[in-house]
Amino acid sequence: MTVIVPDSEHRGLVARLPSTVRGLALLARFDRPIGWWLLFWPGAWGVALAGAAVTRWDLILWLLLGSIAMRGAGCVYNDIVDRDLDAQVARTAARPIPAGLVSVKVAWLWLVALSLVGLLVLVQLHPLAAGVALASLAPVAAYPFMKRITWWPQAWLGLVFSWAALVGWADTAGDLSWPVWWLYAGSIAWVIGYDTIYALQDREDDALIGVRSSALALGGRVRAGVALFYAAATMLWGVAIWTIRPDPLALAALLPAAAHLAWQVATLRPDDGAGALDRFRANRFTGLLLFLAFLVVGTA
C-alpha cells in the first residue's frame, strides 16, 4: 500500500500566516521550494556551459527570481485547471482551491501578480533570450491538459521545465547552437525520470479517476524506466560537454551527478510514497552537481 504524503502541509512559517495569505503561499508552493529549484537549474546550466557563470552572476540571480515567480504562476494556473481532479486525489485534496481556502477569482489575480514579476525578469534579457522565454508560454499553458490525453505528461513537463537552459544560453552565447540543444535534451530526459518518481505517489488515485502518467504506463518497470531516462540524460549531457570541450577528462565532471542519479534508482521503492518523494527532492542536489560540472567545463 502506497503511503500518501499530502501535497499541502501547513508547517513552519506558512502555518503562522493569516488564512488568506497562507492560501496564496500554498497555491504558489512557496512552502515547497523544490519546484523552483528544478526549474532554475537548467537555466543556470546554460549560463555555466556558455562560460559565463562568473561574469553573468547577475543573470543567474534574475533566472532564480524568475523561476520562483513563474513556478508559482504555473502552479496557480495548474490548480485552477485541475481543481476538480485535485478534489478527488488524496494527496491534492488539501490544495487551497479544492479546500476552499482561496477562490478561483482570487487565484486568477494572484496568477497575474506573479506573472508581472516574471515580466520584470523578462525585460532584463537580451532580445533573443526574451523571445525564447516568451515562446515557452504555449507549452506551459498546455501542460495541465496533457495528463488527460497522453500517458506521458512527464515528457511535456520536460519540455517546459528544461526551457530555461535555452534562455540562459541564448542570453550569454547570443545564439542557439548545438551544445544547448544537447543540454536541453538531457534535461528533458532528467525531468521525465524524476517526475516519474514523483508520480508514484498518485498511482492508485490516478488509476481510479482516469488520469494518465508515466508511472502508470511503466507499471512494474518503473525502476528500469527511470534508470533508462537518467542514463539517456547523462549521455546527452556528455555530448553537450564534448561539443564544448572534446576531452575525456571533461566528461569526468559528470561522474558525481551520474553517481547521485544511480543512487536514486538503486534505492527507489515504487510502493514507498515517502521514499519516492525523498528521491524526487534529492534532484535539487543533482542540479547543483551538474551546475558545478558545467561551470568547470565552461570556464576551463
- pLDDT (tens digit per residue) in 45-79: 999 999 999 999 999 999 999 999 999 999 999 89
User: Are 166 and 50 a contacting pair, CB within 8 Å?
Assistant: no
- For residue 6, the 8-state DSSP code is -
User: Are 282 and 260 a contacting pair, CB within 8 Å?
Assistant: yes
CA dist list (Å): 14 to 11, 21, 115, 154: 6, 9, 22, 29
Per-residue pLDDT band for 205 (boundaries 50, 70, 90) equals: low
- All 3 cell numbers of residue 33? 521550494
Residue 221 main-chain phi, psi, to 5 deg: -105, 25
**If you search the block for the grid coordinates 547577475, which residue do you land on?**
58
Q: Which residues, 6+ apart, have CB-to-CB distance to 64 below 8 Å?
A: 36, 40, 44
Predicted TM-score (pTM) of the model is 0.90
Left if phi > 0, otherwise alpha if psi is -120 to 50, otherwise beta: which for 150? beta
- All 3 cell numbers of residue 222? 518503473
Instruction: State pLDDT tens for residues 255-296.
Output: 999 999 999 999 999 888 889 999 999 999 999 999 999 999
Geometric angle at alpha carbon 277, from 275 and 281, rounded to 5° = 120
Q: What is the secondary structure of 184-200 as a DSSP string?
A: HHHHHHHHHHHHHHHHG
Q: Give the integer Cα–Cα distance in Å for 263 and 14.
A: 32
Q: What single-letter amino acid sits at 32?
A: R
Q: What was the pLDDT predicted at 3?
A: 45
**Which CATH number does 13-299 carry?**
1.10.357.140
User: Are 200 and 273 a contacting pair, CB within 8 Å?
Assistant: yes
For the ranges 17-31, 129-143, 264-278, the lowest mean pLDDT is seen at: 17-31
- For residue 3, the 8-state DSSP code is P
Of the candidates 199, 189, 181, the one whose C-alpha atom is nearest the C-alpha of residue 276 is 199
Q: Give the integer Cα–Cα distance in Å for 48 and 27.
A: 32
- All 3 cell numbers of residue 237? 549531457
